Structure 1
């Protein structure tokens, strides 16, 4: 996803009317189309698509679902940042999002719920570990799922899945991380892959402090320079 925030006075940029929840920029939209084409070119079958309910994430999921002719995708409330829920009174309600994205499955019941207060990084890891395990234990013939999420949830969820709490996970916009099962364990096959994006890795986030209440986040640019 592209995290360049548009002009807060541009009503077109905020379809749900929430000034912290814009649509994709043109750059982000093109990235999402390139990601969707990756799945088509490589004939990748997806059994489930789960998305954060923030508009840019759902928009990305919808672009992919349309490209691969996927019947529906599920909106997972637990992938919305608790900090956003706390400070900004939540994400757009499901009925409103379905006006823009009718492929959303309205009957889906989330595996877990967001906490009422902000989380520490350790609490986030524990919650996503439970959520990931819930995916795995679903009693259906599911071999492949796609999760559209944000940097913090992505790297924390992957770490929980592979059971390596200090693993370095690349989280550039619209990058792809793929985990595969090897016996009883999970391994990373792709780590923030951006080879399918015409502009390569953009805004790759690195989380420097472990198990603190607030991560020290820095952004890696294409020239590998660090900025605050």
Structure 2
């Protein structure tokens, strides 16, 4: 069975903005590699972080054997130096599996959020992609965004699928690396450990840029967090920490009581 799950948030990226009334997204760069405004590349600082991350990941035990990533460009760009090093040393088998279930979180809205790039769009930019893996449609978030509880449900489906797939892998890999986003990384920590706070805004699992978390499976088959977004290997230390603040939705549910219902389900 898979024994260790490493989870990393993408490195420092460029920004975008959205008009909450019209749902129009704008990239601060004026354009992105995939043409999607919510899919910016890393900044030069982020590129440095990705290289420092690669140096560190190549030293972890057990070594990374499988890799999954959110479909967004910044996540794959973060992983690229790591994959290059691991592939050169023969430490990882297969390409990066694109999994929409660990993709970005967009709050519930009355407008449509941009769709992440497809494998076809990403292949010209990255050479180490698994062309045979297909993310189950059940893991894909709604185009109109999600409530926080829906994010957790989506991440649980994706992680259950990843763990089952690796447990059934005839080569019996011991570890996997996932690259994702801030909100998704927090949700993953809660889903894996079963530690779901009453208030989703609780600052529990950390998600610094290029920060690495480690979850270990114990003898009872449960997951324990033994490293919570470690940044000791980054020259800039911990940056861009994030947590839910109750204002992630673009829709006002204050009159319906839905927000309270959502918190009670967590």
What TM-score do the two structures reach when normalised by structure 2? 0.72
Q: Which runs of structure 2 are paired with 1:72-221 in the superposition (5 Å)? A: 72-81=95-104, 83=106, 87-111=112-136, 112-116=138-142, 117-138=144-165, 139-140=168-169, 141-166=172-197, 168-183=204-219, 184-209=221-246, 214=249
What's 1:27 paired with? 45
Cα distance, 1:135 vs. partner?
Answer: 1.7
Q: 1:68 to 1:44 in 2, by over 3 A?
A: farther
Of structures 1 and 2, the one scoring higher in RCO (CA 8 A, sep 6+) is 2
Cα distance between partner residues in 2 of 1:179 and 1:187: 5
Match status 1:47 vs 2:78: no
For residue 4 of structure 2, what is the aligned residue in structure 1? none
Greater Cα offset, 41-50 or 183-192? 41-50
2:5 matched residue in structure 1? none
Q: State the Cα deviation string for residues 85-109 of structure 1 (Å, max 9, x = none).
A: 9634311221121001121111102
> Could you tell me how far 1:3 is from its partner in structure 2?
3.1
Aligned to 1:225: none
Deviation of 1:61 (Å): 1.8
Structure 1 residues 158 and 187, CA gap change in structure 2 (3 angstroms): same
Q: Please state whether the residue corresponding to 1:100 is helix, strand or coil.
A: coil
Aligned length: 210
- SS of 1:99 mapped into structure 2: coil
Alpha-carbon distance, 1:115 to partner: 3.5
Q: Which moved more, 1:155-164 or 1:165-174?
A: 165-174
Matched residue of 2:225: which SS?
strand
Distance 1:41-1:137 versus aligned 2 partners, 3 A rule: closer
Tell me if structure 1 keeps the 8 A contact 2:101–2:157: no
User: What is the distance in 2 between the residues matched to 1:84 and 1:104?
Assistant: 28
**Greater Rg, structure 1 or structure 2?**
2
Measured against aligned partners, the alpha-carbon deviations of 1:16-42 in whole angstroms (never above 9, x if no partner) come to 122221111110011011011002234
Contact 1:170 1:191 in 2 (8 A): yes
Match of 2:81 among 63, 70, 85: 63
Q: Which segment drifts farther, 81-90 or 123-132? A: 81-90
Gaps in structure 2 of 5+ consecutive residues:
1-10, 16-26, 251-266
After superposition, the CA RMSD in angstroms is 2.4
Deviation at 1:195, TM superposition (A): 0.3
Identify the residue that residue 222 of structure 1 maps to in structure 2: none
Question: What TM-score does the superposition give when structure 1 sets the normalisation length?
Answer: 0.83
